[in-house]
Structure formats: C-alpha cells, structure tokens
Amino acid sequence: MKWSVLAIVALLVAASRTASAETTFPLHIAVAREGSDRIVDREWLEEQLATANRLFVPFGTRFRWVLDKDLPEPHGEMHTRPQRTALSKLTSEHVIDIFVVRALEDVDEPGRMRMGVCWTGNAGKRYVILSRTAATSVLAHELGHYFGNPHSAVTNNVMSYSRDGGDVFFDEAQARTIKAFTSRFLKEKTLVPVSASPAS
Ligand SMILES: [Zn+2]
C-alpha cells in the first residue's frame, strides 16, 4: 500500500516535470484609445498571441496575457525616442510589456511608419511597441528580437521583412537562441513564468 502511494507520487512528480518543460511567460498589454474606442479589439490581440505561440511553443516557450489595460495619453502615439523611452515608467518587473499605439514612426527615418519595435528603455528595460497597423506576425517578430534574434534576409522567416504569403518560421539557429534566452531570463529572473496550463 505504501509503495503504491509512493509510486503515484513519483508519477505525479514526473508528470509535473514534463509539463514544466514548457515555460509560460506573462505579457502585460496596454492598448491606446481613439476617442472612446480602443484602437484594436480582443480578436486582434488574440490573433497576434496565437501566432506568437504557434511559433514559440515548439521551442518550449509560451506567452499568456495576464493583464490588459488602457494605455493613457500622451503615450498613444510614438514619433520620437524620448516618447518610446517614456513608456519605461508604465512597465512592470518580471513580465513582457506590450504597448499598442495609434502610430509608430521610425526614429531614424522620420515619416516612415513601423508596425512594431522591441525597445530598450530606462535601466535596460526591454518592451514591445506594436502599431495598430501591425500584421499578424509582428508580435512574434518583436518577441523574436526580445529573445535575442537579429533580422534575417530569408523570405518568410519570422525575423525577415520579406513575405510571399507562405508559412512564417524560425530556423534552427533561432530556436537555439530562443531557448538560450528563455533559460537566461529564468535564471536571472528577468521574467517569472506563470504556472503551466494548457490554456491559450
Ligand atoms: Zn525587427
């Protein structure tokens, strides 16, 4: 009898270890308003998240919204470096902050609009800014930067600007980088995972 209880406990421990091979990182999302309306709806956000998860989960890294709030003015439009950096004060420790804005202008090429950026703010704090015009895989692309990847020139690579309508993908070297950054974020407690769950 005692042995079987121990065996069950051992099985449960083994099962929880298997589950924890996947790390779920928390995202805080803040969405700008235009008048009384949010500039993007829940469906838009879920599509960005689903695309990011489809691309990252094979490497053991998942994302989940844990907080969804409005982005207060004057932070709804980004035209300059100081405006991007000013978002630092709206960020939280141990999570990835995502800001969705009405307009995101390139800071090196004024007049050129961007769909997203992974920005380094005060004290080295990194976060993601998405434009309302962002294509579905832009969150995945910016998280690709967050997890250590530079741009790629390969068509349909997540980290490329070149798309022909085919499936987007990370290559094996990028997968290794994502896994290495996941381990580093856990070790250094830059990010603290949320408890494992199959949801979203
Ligand atoms: Zn990029």
Q: What is the pLDDT of residues 98-145, one digit of tens each?
A: 999 999 999 999 999 999 999 999 999 999 999 999 999 999 999 999
User: Does pTM top 0.85 for this prediction?
Assistant: yes
Whole-number Å distance, alpha carbon 120 to ligand 1 midpoint, is 13
Res 91 pLDDT > 70: yes
Whole-number Å distance, alpha carbon 39 to ligand 1 midpoint, is 22
Q: 153 - beta bridge partners? A: none
How far is 138 from 52, CA to CA, in rounded Å?
Answer: 9
Res 2 pLDDT > 80: no
Res 7 pLDDT > 90: no
Task: Report the C-alpha dihedral over residues 68, 65, 75, 36, rounded to 10 degrees.
Answer: -40
Whole-number Å distance, alpha carbon 163 to ligand 1 midpoint, is 14
Whole-number Å distance, alpha carbon 142 to ligand 1 midpoint, is 6
How far is CA 130 from each of CA 5, 26, 116, 133, rounded to the nearest angstrom?
A: 51, 17, 4, 8
Q: Which residue has the tokens 């009405």?
A: 102
Q: Which residue has the tokens 């609009």?
A: 113
Whole-number Å distance, alpha carbon 154 to ligand 1 midpoint, is 13
Q: What is the pLDDT of residue 21?
A: 81
Q: What is the pLDDT of residues 54-68, one digit of tens each?
A: 999 999 999 999 999
